[in-house]
Amino acid sequence: MNDTPGNGTPLVVARDLKKAYQIGDRRLEVLRGVSLSVARGEFVALRGASGAGKSTLLHLLGGLDHADSGQIEFEGTTLSGRSLSSLAEFRNRHVGIIFQAYHLLADLTAVENVFLPARMGRMPGAQARQRAESLLKRVGLGDRMGHRPSQLSGGEQQRVAIARCLINSPSLILADEPTGNLDSHTGDEVMNLLLELRGEHRTTLVIATHDVRVAARAEREVRLVDGLAEDPPMVGS
């Protein structure tokens, strides 16, 4: 394995997370007490059947949703109970998120999609654009900066999404099935790029994936089963 291991210091810790959704008359319990600790610099793969709660757990770790109960700590500071605006600021400063469906803004060019989070974080416009252009060149899209998402292939859109997630130098990258909409060759290229960038930026990475090849590249695989996390020791421990 050629991926950089974590240093053992917890970056994010989840304790006894529970989350349920009300669907008509039915209450669907997705997470029933998930606990998880991710070390700074570590690469963790979340696996499990569809509906096992992988995306839900990522959303909770990234402050996109609130747990019904339980606690999340990021660098020793609790996220539980924070307001939506406080969580949005937390995400902008500390978390990069990559979605399976890319979630690029259709009316913006590639470079505009990438620098938008930096502008939202009050980075000066010229600096944000310069950094966005640098990242797009790094992901191999230096000649596609002015293209809108509809003019880009799926692999290119995911590369834009990777550049966007790195614009604010996050401590944590959360990726939800980042290769799920890509063919195997393009998916391999995207994963190789993501892991290269993760190493360069020394970023913690948590990926939810069905792909056994993606999970095999992680230092640790956590399986979600029946709303709980089966968390074996780190590779090499």
SS3 123: coil
Q: Give the integer Cα–Cα distance in Å for 30 and 20.
A: 5
Decide: helix, strand or coil at residue 18. Answer: strand
Q: What is the pLDDT of residue 6?
A: 52
Confidence at residue 234, expressed as pLDDT on a 0 to 100 scale: 44
What count of Cα atoms within 13 Å lies in the side-chain half-sphere of residue 10? 13
User: CB of 72 within 8 A of CB of 37?
Assistant: no
pLDDT for res 3: 43
Residue 1 confidence (pLDDT): 36
Residue 111: half-sphere exposure toward Cβ, Cα within 13 Å:
18
The Cα 62–Cα 179 span in angstroms is 19
Q: Where are the alpha helices (DSSP H) in the chain?
A: 54-61, 84-94, 110-120, 125-138, 154-166, 184-201, 212-216
At residue 2, the pLDDT reads 39
State residue 233's pLDDT score. Answer: 46
Q: What is the pLDDT along the chain (237 residues), one digit of tens a residue?
A: 334 445 578 999 999 999 999 988 999 999 999 999 999 999 999 998 888 899 999 999 999 999 999 999 999 999 888 888 899 999 999 999 999 899 999 999 999 999 999 999 999 999 999 999 999 999 999 999 999 999 999 999 999 999 999 999 999 999 999 999 999 999 999 999 999 999 888 899 999 998 899 999 999 999 999 889 986 544 443
CA atoms within 13 A on the CB side of 191: 28
Going from the C-alpha of 160 to that of each of 104, 150, 170, 183, the distances in angstroms are 8, 12, 16, 17
Q: Report d(CA 21, CA 66) in Å as an integer.
A: 12
Task: Domains for the chain: give ranges and CATH numbers.
Answer: 10-230 (3.40.50.300)
